Structure 1
Amino acid sequence: MKFKNFPMVPRVIFGAGSFKQLGEILLPKRKSSDTPVIYLVDAIFENQEISKQIPVLFSDQIIYVSTDEEPKTEQVDALVSLLKTNYPELPAAIVGIGGGSILDLAKAVAIMLTNKGKAEDYQGWDLVKNPAIYHVGVPTLSGTGAEVSRTAVLSGPEKKLGINSDYTPFDQVVLDPDLTINVEKDQWFYTGMDCFIHCIESLNGTYLNAFSQSYGEKALDLCKEVFLEDIDSSSARDKLMMASWHGGMSIAYSQVGVAHAISYGLSHVLGIKHGIGNCLVFQYLEEFYPEGVALFSKMMDKHNIILPKGICKNLSENQLNTMIKVAMAMTPLWENALGANWQDTITESKLKSIYKKI
């Protein structure tokens, strides 16, 4: 038996206010004043306090990126082309500051600066040939696990699928819970549920092992504390940031499952953001995760979350078929959830019935 030899983030700093040390962290990576650090920052932070704290020096550039839509392969290609045109040398670093979309975008740009072709060419598993340039992740939301995962999830012309490789993980992560203080309630819940669903899918999967189980159980316990108990806001921020980290580690050595596979189709066709997409799907997966769905319902009730309805009500047959095609292509996710014979359970009609409930 051959065991997976996955890389992990080699350096991480955690603590309220740790973002202020970013300049110190980046300084040794600067070759000269002409070699910039490129900051990819969620556009929501433009003219906000967090942007004023970004340690810009010399020829550094801040690029504000809208997260109204999920990151796309063509967006990665456009950013890489821009950087190669504007700078004769490779940047000293790519720094992603934002939620999962920005972190995935930063990982993908760092990879594509050193690999030929288009980003869509690398959607899959272990297709990247050359190491990425130095890249740093600074999450401003907690739950996606993008800060620790070996994938950069992108929507391409044909599919939504990650660039999964040993070169994808960040070289450095800055975990500052204070950066999540002003997250809106619904966004906080949806992103936190991404972590919760990671845990449920990992802990109930056929790929489960002691490594993924140890991280998944801890992340699940933290999610229960944050979303079911009454704890102070500072402690909740700390715990959810740690839950996100542990949840991401749990799936690093296992895999996600049914909710993620189905939500990829939803996102690819309708542009539904990942967190809420998982929630929209998960509520109807009692057949696969009965205990998890029961907990999810309790969490929604406690925080007065009402999910939108009728999302798929007026979809054309072509749209539904595209969703199904994207979801059915997630073979490792289905195998983790249901085993090698997953196609005995998951059929096109089965998926169509779930989508039509949403």
Structure 2
Amino acid sequence: MKFRNFPMVPRVLFGRNSFDQVGELLMPLRRNSEAPYIFLVDDVFQDRPEVTSRIPVMFEDRIIFISADEEPKTAQVDALVAMIKTAFDEMPSGVIGIGGGTVMDLAKAVSLLLTNPGSAQDYQGWDLVKNKAVYHVGIPSISGTGAEVSRTTVLTGPEKKLGINSDFTPFDQVVLDPAMTGGVPKDQWFFTGMDCFIHCVESLEGYFLNTFSQSYGEKAYELCCEVFTSDELGLEERQNKLMMASWHGGMSIAYSQVGIAHALSYGLSYELGIRHGVGNCMVFDHLEKYYPKGVRKFKEMKDRHEIVLPSGVCSDLTTEQMDSMTRVALSLEPLWENALGADWKQKITEKEIHELYQKM
């Protein structure tokens, strides 16, 4: 048996207000004054000088504000790369993503496409990237996606929603500053936190589970339950613990895989544009057959925080739309194999997937 040699983020800085050390981290790695740092920043911070004034721009550095209203797309990556190559004669010293999963995935993808020819859609899949990315840094401003630690950058392309999964994708440096997550709306906090919780359930109950994944998954599961069910945690402690749950949840799938909720959520996102965290929750709410214990705990947390999920979104879809969502979901074969085993194609049918979607 040959084991995979997975890469991990080599440097991590953790602590409240550690964001103030970003300039100190970047300075030694700046190639010269003409090789800029590109800061991709969630546009929620555009009118928040308490954050933007602390971004350490100098020389030719550029801040590009990114809307996170939609999931990241391959065309968006291509446009950003073209803009950067047109604006600067030198290759950037690095790309820094400041925001949620959307911005961090874009930062990873842009850093890869700056050094690899073609379009982002050419690299959707597993281990298709040939050249090392430019230096890239992830600074999450919301906790749960695990994008800060994963070896994938999930993108919606013209034909599919699928990650660029490669050894060159993980960040070179991550800054985990729980104070950056202040001000996240309640629903978004819940949906993104549940993305982490669902990572753990799908990893811990999957066929690919091993001791490495289990150790991270169990800790992330424990932290999520504490954050979303305890009345004794203060705000700062809640932020600290959820940020570490996100990290551990991302690590739990590094050596295993996610499962059915993520596969079906990808279909919802591709066809209907439903955000990843929301889509995961919509799907997971109906997966008692596959993850009974996890779904019970999810429903308990959902009720505790008075979260109302969207409903009826698939009730008026055409057959073509339903088939499209199903095609996208079934294309994620490793997810189904992790959930149902090597013979997964004998255990799930398109009809069953249609029936699950029709409940949403």
* TM-score interval, normalised by the smaller of the two chains: over 0.9
Q: What residue is the counterpart of 2:75 in the other structure?
A: 74
SS where residue 336 of structure 1 aligns?
Answer: helix
For 1:181 and 1:65, locate their aligned partners in 2 and report how far apart those are by CA, in whole Å.
19
Letter of the 1:198 partner, please give it.
H
2:312 maps to 1:310: yes
Q: What residue is the counterpart of 2:346 in the other structure?
A: 344
Quick one: which of 323, 326, 333 aligns to 1:324? 326
Letter of the 2:307 partner, please give it.
I
Q: What residue is the counterpart of 2:249 in the other structure?
A: 247
For 1:213 and 1:203, locate their aligned partners in 2 and report how far apart those are by CA, in whole Å.
6
Deviations 1:220-247 (A, max 9, x none): 0000100111111111000000000000
Q: What residue is the counterpart of 2:293 in the other structure?
A: 291
Letter of the 1:311 partner, please give it.
V
Q: What residue is the counterpart of 2:194 in the other structure?
A: 193
Q: What residue is the counterpart of 2:99 in the other structure?
A: 98
Q: How big is the shift at 1:314?
A: 1.3
Q: How big is the shift at 1:159?
A: 0.3
Letter of the 1:294 partner, please give it.
R
Q: How big is the shift at 1:29?
A: 1.2
Q: CA RMSD in A?
A: 0.6
Deviations 1:252-310 (A, max 9, x none): 00000000000000000111110011000000000000000000010011111111111
Q: What residue is the counterpart of 1:47 in the other structure?
A: 47
Q: What fraction of aligned residue pairs are identical, expressed as a percent?
A: 63
Task: Show structure 1 runs of 5+ residues with no match.
Answer: none
Q: How big is the shift at 1:47?
A: 2.0
For 1:52 and 1:271, locate their aligned partners in 2 and report how far apart those are by CA, in whole Å.
33
SS where residue 253 of structure 2 aligns?
Answer: helix
Task: Show structure 2 runs of 5+ residues with no match.
Answer: none
Q: What residue is the counterpart of 1:333 in the other structure?
A: 335
What does 1:56-71 correspond to in 2, within 5 Å? 56-71=57-72
Structure 1 residue ranges (4+ consecutive) displaced by more than 3 angstroms after TM superposition: none
Letter of the 2:162 partner, please give it.
L
SS where residue 252 of structure 1 aligns?
Answer: coil
SS where residue 118 of structure 2 aligns?
Answer: coil
For 1:304 and 1:207, locate their aligned partners in 2 and report how far apart those are by CA, in whole Å.
34
SS where residue 62 of structure 1 aligns?
Answer: strand
Letter of the 2:78 partner, please give it.
D
> TM-score scaled to structure 2, two decimals?
0.99
Q: What residue is the counterpart of 1:33 in the other structure?
A: 33
2:142 maps to 1:141: yes
Letter of the 2:357 partner, please give it.
Y
SS where residue 170 of structure 2 aligns?
Answer: coil
Letter of the 1:62 partner, please give it.
I
Q: What residue is the counterpart of 2:117 in the other structure?
A: 116
SS where residue 151 of structure 1 aligns?
Answer: coil
SS where residue 97 of structure 2 aligns?
Answer: strand
Q: What residue is the counterpart of 2:180 in the other structure?
A: 179
Q: What residue is the counterpart of 1:9 in the other structure?
A: 9
What does 1:214-225 correspond to in 2, within 5 Å? 214-225=215-226
Q: What residue is the counterpart of 1:162 in the other structure?
A: 163
For 1:127 and 1:32, locate their aligned partners in 2 and report how far apart those are by CA, in whole Å.
31
For 2:169 and 2:31, locate their aligned partners in 1 and report how far apart those are by CA, in whole Å.
23
How many pairs are equivalent?
Answer: 358
Q: What residue is the counterpart of 1:267 in the other structure?
A: 269
> TM-score scaled to structure 1, two decimals?
0.99
